[in-house]
A and B are shown apart, each in its own frame.
Chain A
Amino acid sequence: MSDKDTASINRNRAVDVALLAYIVLSYAFVFAPIAASFVFSFNSDRFPSIPLGQFSLEWYRAVASDPLVWQGLRNTLFVGVIVGVVATALGFGAAYTDFRYRFFGKQVYLALALLPPTIPVVILGLAMLAYLSRINLSGNALSVIIAHVVICAPFAMAIIRLRLSQMDPDLEAAAWNLGASEWAAMRHVIIPFAKPAIFGALFITMAVSFDEFAIAWFVSGLNETLPVKVLGFLQGQVSPRINAIGTFVFVTSMTLVILAQILLTGRGAKARPGADEQE
C-alpha cells in the first residue's frame, strides 16, 4: 500500500467514482419505468408526458369503478392464494425429498422440480392451453391454478431447500433415536425448523402468481386475472389506468415480499419451535 504513488491513487479514485456512478445509472434505468408508472398514476393527462398535469385520482377512480377490474382482482387473489398453498406444499415435499433421500433417477426428479421456469411462457402457455382443453380443464380459474403451480413450485422448492441445507441432518436422526416416529420428527423437528422458509415460499409464490400474465392469458378464457386485464388495456385503449393498477399491484407484491424477507431473515426462528412444543 505505502509504495503506491499518489498518481495511481488518484487514478483509482476516478475509476471508483466512475464505477459508483455506473451503479447509480444502472439502478436509474431499472427504476425509471417503475417510478414513472407511480408518478403518472396520479397525473391527470390522458397521454402522460412531461410537464406533469394536475394531481388527480381519476385513474384510480376509473379503475375502482370498473367491475371487470374487480372481477379480475378477485380471480387473481383466489388463484394466487390457492397457488401459493399448493405450490408451497409440493415444493416442501420436493425440498425434503432432496434433503433426505438419495435414489436412482434423482437428477431427473430434480430437473422436473426446477426446470419449468426456464421454459418460455408462450410455449408453456400454448402447451397448457392445448393439453388442458383436451382434458376439458381449460378456460377457467382451475386451469390458471394448475399452470401457475407448475411454474411456482420450483421457487418454493428452492427457498425451502436452502433453509433445510442450514439444518444439521443429524437432528432428525436424533429425534428418531429418542423414539420419535418419522411423522413425529417431521412435525416437531423439520417443519418448525423450515417454518420461516415455508411462509417465505408461500408469499413469494403468491407474488409470482399475482404478476404472471402470459400463461394466464392463454388458458384463462373468460376468467381473466388482473395481469391479463392489464394486457387487455395495453392492447386496446392505452390509458393511464395501467399505472393505477400497476402501482396497486406493486404495493401488494412488495408487501408480500417484505413479509417473506422478514420471515426468512428473522432471528429466533430457531429458539421458538421448542417453546411451541412445551404446551
Chain B
Amino acid sequence: MRRSLTLYGLTFSLPLLIWQLLFFVFPLVFLVALSFWTVKNFRMQPDIDAVNWVTMYGRPLFWQAYGITFAMSAAAAALVSALAFPCSYAIAFKLSETGRRWAVFLMVIPFFTSYLVRVYSWQIFLSDAGIINVMLGWVGLGPYGLLNTVGATMIGYLTLTFPLVVLLQLFSLAFIDRTLIEAAHNLRCGRLRTVFAVIIPSARVGLVIAALFAFILSFGDFVSPIYLGGGDPTTLSILITDTTKSGQQWPRAAVIALTMIGTLMAVAFAAVRFAYKGRTK
C-alpha cells in the first residue's frame, strides 16, 4: 500500500517469483531455444537451426496427429459441456442447500483419486471380456470391441474433465440473479426457453471457461489415448512422449510442445474473447 520496497515485503513476495521464474518460465523459454538445437550422433548440440521445425512441419503424420488431437479435444469439450450442464443445472436449482454441499464435496473426490487408476478401471469395464460385454452377453448381445476405440478415449477424456466442468458450471450458475429466472417465469417463458434464453446467457462466461479447461486438459492428455484408445489414432501428446522417451530427439518434441502451446493460447484467447463478448455494454 505505502512503501513499495521493504525487506519485509520482499521476504514474502520474492520466493514465489524467483521459483516460478527459475523453474517455470525458464524451462518454457528454454524449450524455444531447444527447438533450434540439432542432434548429431545421438547427441544434442546447441545450435540455431530451423531443421526441426522444417522436419516436423514437413511430415504429413504430424499434421494428421494435429488435426485429430484438435478435433477430439474440441469434441470432448463440447460433449462434456453438454453432458455436464443438466447435472450442474439440477444441482444448482433442484437440490437443497445441504444436498448441494454434498454434491460439491462428492464432485471434489475424483480430483484426489489417481487418474491412472481410474483409466485402468475403465479397461476392466470396456475390455472384450469386461463388465459391459458380460452384461451385454446376458441379453444376448456382443461382445463388442469397446476398448482401443475413439469412443473409449472419449470416456477417458470425460473421466478427466467431467468433475471439473460440473464444478465450474455450478460456480457460474450459483451467481445467476434468481429474480431474472422468476421474471422469465412470470412472463410465461417456458422452462426450456428459460434455460436457453436466460440461464445459459447469464452463465456464459463460466460455461465457456469450463469448456476451455476441458479442451486444454484433453488436448494435453496422453493417458486416455494410449491406454483406452490403444495409441491409435496418434495424438500430439503421444507424439511428444514417444519422441522424448525413445531416443534423443528432444528438439523435435520441443517443436510439438511449442505448437501445442501456441494452439492452446490461440484457443484460450478466442474463448475468453467469446465469453466476454458484449459484456462491456
Q: Are B112 and A211 in contact (CB under 8 A)?
A: yes
Q: Tell which of B23-31, B198-206, B271-279 binds the partner.
A: B23-31
For residue A102, CB closer than 8 A to chain B, the reply is yes
Tell me the minimal C-beta distance from B272 to chain A in angstroms: 12
Name the residue on A nearest B257 (C-beta): A123
Q: Does B173 contact A (CB under 8 A)?
A: no
Count chain A CB atoms within 10 A of each CB in B11, B109, B261 and give the residue with the most. Answer: B109
Please indicate the chain B residues that have their CB under 8 angstroms from the CB of A123 in the complex: 31, 220, 240, 257, 260-261
Q: Which of B9, B19, B240 contacts A149 (CB 8 A)?
A: B19
Q: A36-B131, A50-B131, A131-B26 known; A116 and B20 CB under 8 Å?
A: yes
The one of B86, B105, B124, B244 in contact with A218, judged by C-beta atoms closer than 8 angstroms, is B244
- Contacts A50-B135, A103-B4, A227-B116 given; does A37 touch B121 at CB 8 Å: yes
Cβ–Cβ < 8 Å partners of A183 in chain B: 8
How would you classify the secondary structure of chain B's contact residues: helix, strand, loop or mixed? helix
- Contact status A19-B117, CB under 8 Å: no
Partner of B118, one of A33, A96, A122, A231: A33
Does any Cβ of A come within 8 Å of B254's Cβ?
Answer: yes
- Contact indicator B117/A150 (Cβ below 8 Å): no
Are A33 and B23 interface neighbours, CB within 8 A?
no
Within 8 A of A (CB), among B22-73: 23-28, 30-31, 34
Contact A120 B103 (CB under 8 A): no
| A249 contacts chain B at the CB level, 8 A cutoff | yes
* A49: contacting residue among B105, B129, B241, CB under 8 A: B129
Residues of A within 8 A of B28 (CB): 119, 127
Could you mark each residue 92-113 of chain A with 1 if its beta carbon is under 8 Å from any beta carbon of chain B, else 0?
1110110011110000010011
- Residues of chain B contacted by A22 (CB below 8 angstroms): 86-87, 90
Q: Kindly identify, within residues 65 to 96 of chain B, every residue whose CB is under 8 Å from any CB belonging to chain A.
A: 83-84, 86-87, 89-91, 94-95
- For B109, give its contact among A32, A120, A129, A254 (CB under 8 Å): A254
* Number of residues from A at the complex interface, CB < 8 A: 86
Is there contact, CB below 8 Å, between A34 and B257? no
For the A-B complex, the count of residue pairs with Cβ-Cβ distances under 8 Å equals 237
A121 on the B face (CB < 8 A): yes
Distance of A213 Cα from B241 Cα, bound (Å)? 13
On whether the beta carbons of B129 and A33 are closer than 8 Å, the reply is no
Which B residues touch A26, using CB under 8 A? 83-84, 87, 162, 166
The B130-181 residues at the A interface (CB cut-off 8 A) are: 130-131, 134-135, 158-159, 162-163, 166
- Give min CB distance, A49 to chain B, whole Å: 5
Q: Tell me the smallest distance from the CB of A56 to a CB of chain B, in Å.
A: 16
- Inter-chain contact A238/B19, CB cutoff 8 Å: no
Shortest B157–chain A CB gap in Å is: 13
- In Å, the complex CA distance between A123 and B16 comes to 21
Q: Which residue of A lies closest to B37 (CB)?
A: A130
A26-B162, A49-B131, A109-B13 known; A246-B114 Cβ under 8 A:
yes
Distance of A107 Cα from B119 Cα, bound (Å): 37
CA of A89 to CA of B21 in the docked complex: distance in angstroms?
Answer: 17
- Chain A residues contacting B159 (CB-CB under 8 Å) are 30, 33
In Å, the complex CA distance between A132 and B91 comes to 45
Complex Cα spacing A194 to B115, Å: 31
- Not counting A122-B240, A131-B26, a sample of 6 additional A-B residue pairs whose C-beta atoms are within 8 angstroms of each other reads A19-B90, A22-B90, A90-B19, A94-B13, A101-B1, A146-B23
